[in-house]
Amino acid sequence: MTSGSTNGTAGLPPGPRREALRLEPGASVAALLSRMSRSAFQGRKLGEAFETWRWMIDGESLICIGLAGSMASAGLWPLVTWLVERRYVDLVVSTSANVTEDLLEQRGVPFYRLEPERADDERLWRDGYYRFYDHVVARDEYDRMEDFTSAFFDDLAGRWPEASIPGVLFMRELGHWLERQGLGRSVAATCARHGVPLFVPAAPDGPLAEGYRASARRGPVVDFFRDYELALRVMDRYMAPGCGTSAIFVGGGVPKDFIQITATSVCAVRGGIEASPHRAAIQLTTDNPVFGGLGGASVASEGISWGKESPAGRNVMVFADFTIGLPLLCQGLLDHYGPGHRRARRHIAGSVAALLDDPDPAGQPR
């Protein structure tokens, strides 16, 4: 006999009833995800993430998204631009690769699938291919993409009047330049066009480093510490007791840490007495929390101890491959809101732009 009651019958249930997952002919992905939220394990968590993302979209908070992992090479960049265009995210933090490798397909470069268990990497090198686990791209085309970005450095050096530039404004200038090159569908160009700040705190860790190396003119210096000051200005404006911030993490890495640490920094700026957590957080990851890395640190538990997430928040940790989870979530949002929907938070873009552009007495963005 199990413990938990004294009269041989079960006590009060600890939570809602788990429901069996049944198929429904013609049902949408949105309907499936809603049913999954009442099921079990990571399917349940994916369903809860869908409900939480809808709560973010319908609410008042500033929605931040962190992009890590090889999303662009896997062909997920159109999902990111779709989210930006529909105003489902207000601030983007990304790895360098995810906002440059998306240029390959837009420049007409194909990726090819292969079976990773039978890949001959020595042969791939001889034949001129770079491998991303189960797909490859031609080495010379990838290298040309890196060299292509050198023209942006030359262009910026001739136009930017100051000796330095914050990283977020550097990425906005890159987005505008890509638009002029006919690459307006890129993540950077889409963010710039829609007034969504794009932070890339580890910008040299990717193709932009080769573009910088190959450029004829090198300036202005990208000031990443100024970048963080600007991020804190934005977060301080929106974090509780304001309308609040929400966070979505696709993978972990530097983008997750950048968004998470703004909560601890804003807390310190405000005196360090009360936490300034995100009001809701979703993470899609395959990182294991038991090894102590930030990538697997749960937004539903461990992050609360740092004041990054609220103990009363809608925090969902989904241990799943983002190439599975993100397409299902985006399709679910499309099903739920319809093809013409735009989030009614247009004023956020103007407010954030003002925070980024408002100069201090020295004439620099604060």
How many whole angstroms separate alpha carbon 115 and alpha carbon 113?
Answer: 7
- Which residues have CB under 8 Å from 326's CB, separation 6+? 76, 79, 250, 284
Q: What is the rounded distance in angstroms from the CA atom of residue 316 to the CA atom of residue 298?
A: 8
User: Which of 45, 86, 308, 336 is the catalytic position?
Assistant: 308
Beta strands (DSSP E) in the chain are: 62-67, 91-94, 112-113, 129-132, 135-138, 164-166, 198-199, 221-223, 245-250, 278-285, 309-319
What phi and psi, each to the nearest 5 degrees, are found at residue 137? Answer: -140, 150
Q: Which of 115, 101, 218 is nearest to 165 (CA)?
A: 218
Rounded to whole angstroms, the Cα distance separating 134 from 239 reads 40
Secondary structure (3-state) at 26:
coil
Q: Which residues of 271-291 are buried (b: 16+ CB within 10 A; e: fewer)?
A: eeeebbbbbbbbbbbebebee
R_g of the chain, CA atoms, integer Å: 22
**Are the C-beta atoms of 248 and 66 separated by less than 8 Å?**
yes
Structure tokens at 250: 């696709």
Active site residue 256: no
SS3 of 155-169:
HHHHHCCCCEEEHHH
- Strands 198-199 and 164-166, bridge-based pairing: unpaired
Residue 280, SS3 per DSSP? strand
DSSP string, 192-217: HHTT--EE-TTTTSSHHHHHHHH-S-
Q: Which residues contact 286 (CB under 8 A, 6 or more apart)?
A: 319, 320, 321
Residues involved in catalysis? 308
